[in-house]
């Protein structure tokens, strides 16, 4: 059997004995056939908004419009979506002042080159693009207390605007349930202290804060509250396949349209867990596999299938390195993943440290299984310092996995670990 695993902007291949493969878990998104082009799919959503009037009608009542978009770490096809959104806005109000706020969350700023690659030259040159800076206290406005008890501080442009809308994409998310919708506000344009409160160790440990779960998810509840206080009025969220092509789109009310989109993704992405000694996966390729921090997401799908003491192989380019100094230091300063987990679990909500949630989840995974990371673009030292095993190729990783699990070990393949919701019994 030839296994094709997304990696950076291409794929890595591995040939293994198919008699040992217990399952290949794929999202049904790849089988979904959209009736029209990507542009037609977007226009159909905009012309049939869920729980809302059309965007061009809402725009006609606004003088100042804030359009929130995703940053360089998210594969939202903004070269396609943004021009259509801007055209719709100006069809309703050609005189409106529009600002495009890049929802960086806690990430670094999107560079000019990354903006050009993501949004296109015309938008970069003609539109007013602003990077959100979560550490810039002077650009924040206080909007109340989150259900969790944390302070809600958001980019003050939400108060500048008469109309706030956002674009994004919906995929399974390893602790928010699903991406998209309200996530453009929190963590997208929230202050650092707000994101930290929302991502506290108690919430990350909650069984309700898992892939595909929204009901009783404490992180989701905070995010909905933030979106309400930001006066988020309209969203356009797309669903993309492994080639990053739009296969569906949902527009309208930030709750109703998002719920409809999550229902679609859930129906496409849900797969039953299959237990195995070795699980091979990826983080979906570029841009989601730019660093180790992001690659933890793909590991969680494998975590749901790998047996205790087994091996996870994840292919992720990680050309951007570890992805966060704080995240990296949790492991370089610890003797074991167990030490990381114990330390983080003792941190109160109001003392949450940046990136501790990613470290908490990685530690949880490493306490269950060995992780072999395949990369020819990331420092071996970074991977090893974070208590994982480095491999330069899938073949090398598979040999290392067999040394531990045995040459007759059974195998499960999850080509794209961020595209599926692995359902476990109970």
| Average pLDDT of the chain to the nearest whole number | 96
Residue 65 maps to which CATH number? Answer: 3.40.50.11440
Whether residue 99 is found in the same domain as residue 213? yes
| pLDDT of res. 294 | 93
Whether residue 114 is found in the same domain as residue 236? yes
* Domain edge (last residue) among 240, 268, 296: 268
| pLDDT of res. 35 | 87
User: 94: how many CB neighbours lie within 10 A of its CB?
Assistant: 9
Preceding amide of 44 cis, omega within 30 = no
Starting at the earlier edge strand, list the strands of the sheet with 246-252.
Answer: 129-131, 97-103, 64-70, 163-169, 232-240, 246-252
According to DSSP, residue 175 is labeled T
pTM of the model: 0.88
Give every CB contact of residue 210 below 8 A, 6+ residues apart in sequence.
174, 175, 177, 217
Q: How confident is the chain (426 residues) per 10-residue block, as mean pLDDT?
A: 94 93 93 92 98 98 97 93 98 97 95 96 97 97 96 98 97 95 98 96 95 96 98 98 92 98 97 97 93 96 97 97 94 96 95 94 98 97 98 97 96 95 78
Domain of 256 in residue numbering reads as: 31-268
| pLDDT of res. 26 | 94
Give me the number of domains the chain comprises: 2
| pLDDT of res. 205 | 95
According to DSSP, residue 71 is labeled -
Task: Return the structure tokens found at 223.
Answer: 């995010």
Question: Strands 10-15 and 421-423: what pairing?
Answer: unpaired
Q: Which residue has the tokens 């005189």?
A: 95
Whether residue 413 is found in the same domain as residue 288? yes
Give every CB contact of residue 409 below 8 A, 6+ residues apart in sequence.
20, 276, 277, 278, 310, 311, 401, 402
Contact present, 239 and 246 (Cβ < 8 Å): yes
Whether residue 341 is found in the same domain as residue 260? no
Whether residue 61 is found in the same domain as residue 207? yes
Q: How far apart are CA 121 and CA 271, in angstroms?
A: 40
132 catalytic per annotation: no
Q: Could you tell me how many residues make up the chain? A: 426
- State CA 214 to chain mean position distance: 15
Q: How far apart are CA 251 and CA 255, in angstroms?
A: 10
Whether residue 210 is found in the same domain as residue 337? no
Whether residue 176 is found in the same domain as residue 60? yes
* Domain edge (last residue) among 242, 268, 294: 268
HSE of 299 in the Cβ direction (CA atoms, 13 Å)? Answer: 31
Whether residue 148 is found in the same domain as residue 245? yes
| pLDDT of res. 425 | 60
Whether residue 263 is found in the same domain as residue 279? no
Q: 84 has which bridge partners? A: none
Whether residue 293 is found in the same domain as residue 256? no
Residue 317 maps to which CATH number? Answer: 3.90.226.30
Whether residue 150 is found in the same domain as residue 222? yes
72, 132, 173, 322: the catalytic one is 173
173 catalytic per annotation: yes
| pLDDT of res. 426 | 46
| pLDDT of res. 243 | 85
SS3 260: helix
* Domain edge (last residue) among 235, 268, 301: 268
| pLDDT of res. 87 | 98
Question: E strand or H helix at 220, and its extent?
Answer: helix 218-229
Whether residue 18 is found in the same domain as residue 163? no
11, 44, 72, 107: the catalytic one is 107
103, 154, 188 from 109: Cα distances, Å: 9, 17, 12
The three-state DSSP-derived secondary structure of 91-135 is HHCCCCEEEEEEECCCCCCCCHHHHHHHHCHHHHHHCCEEECCCC
């Amino acid at each position: 059997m030839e296994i094709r695993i997304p990696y950076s902007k291409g794929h890595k291949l591995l040939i293994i004995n198919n008699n040992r493969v217990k399952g290949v878990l794929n999202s049904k998104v790849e089988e979904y056939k959209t009736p029209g082009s990507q542009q037609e799919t977007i226009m159909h959503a905009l012309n049939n908004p869920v729980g809302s009037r059309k965007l061009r009608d809402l725009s006609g009542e606004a003088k100042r419009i804030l359009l929130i978009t995703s940053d360089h770490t998210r594969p939202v096809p903004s070269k396609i979506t943004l021009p259509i959104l801007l055209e719709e806005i100006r069809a309703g109000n050609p005189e409106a002042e529009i600002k495009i706020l890049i929802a960086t969350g806690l990430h670094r700023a999107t560079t000019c080159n990354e903006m050009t690659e993501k949004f296109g030259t015309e938008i970069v040159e003609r539109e007013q693009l602003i990077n959100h800076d979560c550490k810039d206290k002077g650009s924040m406005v206080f909007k109340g207390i989150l259900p969790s008890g944390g302070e809600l501080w958001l980019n003050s442009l939400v108060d500048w605007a008469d109309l706030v809308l956002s674009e994004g994409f919906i995929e399974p998310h390893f602790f928010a349930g699903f991406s998209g919708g309200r996530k453009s506000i929190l963590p997208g344009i929230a202050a650092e202290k707000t994101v930290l409160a929302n991502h506290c160790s108690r919430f990350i440990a909650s069984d309700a804060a898992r892939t595909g779960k929204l009901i009783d998810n404490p992180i989701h509840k905070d995010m909905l509250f933030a979106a309400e206080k930001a006066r988020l009025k309209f969203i356009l969220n797309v669903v993309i396949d492994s080639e990053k092509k739009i296969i569906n789109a949902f527009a309208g009310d930030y709750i109703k349209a998002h719920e409809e989109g999550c229902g679609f993704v859930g129906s496409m992405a849900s797969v039953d867990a299959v237990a195995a000694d070795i699980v091979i996966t990826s983080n979906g390729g570029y841009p989601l596999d730019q660093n180790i921090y992001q690659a933890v997401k793909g590991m969680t799908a494998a975590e749901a299938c790998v047996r205790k003491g087994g091996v996870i192989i994840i292919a992720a380019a990680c050309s951007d390195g570890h992805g966060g100094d704080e995240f990296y230091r949790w492991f370089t300063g610890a003797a074991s993943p167990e030490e990381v987990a114990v330390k983080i679990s003792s941190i109160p909500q109001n003392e949450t440290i940046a990136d501790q949630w990613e470290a908490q989840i990685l530690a949880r995974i490493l306490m269950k299984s060995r992780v072999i990371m395949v990369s020819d673009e990331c420092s071996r030292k970074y991977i090893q310092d974070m208590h994982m095993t480095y491999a330069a190729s899938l073949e090398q990783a598979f040999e290392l996995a067999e040394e531990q699990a045995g040459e007759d070990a059974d195998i499960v393949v999850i080509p794209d670990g961020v595209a599926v919701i692995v359902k476990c019994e109970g």
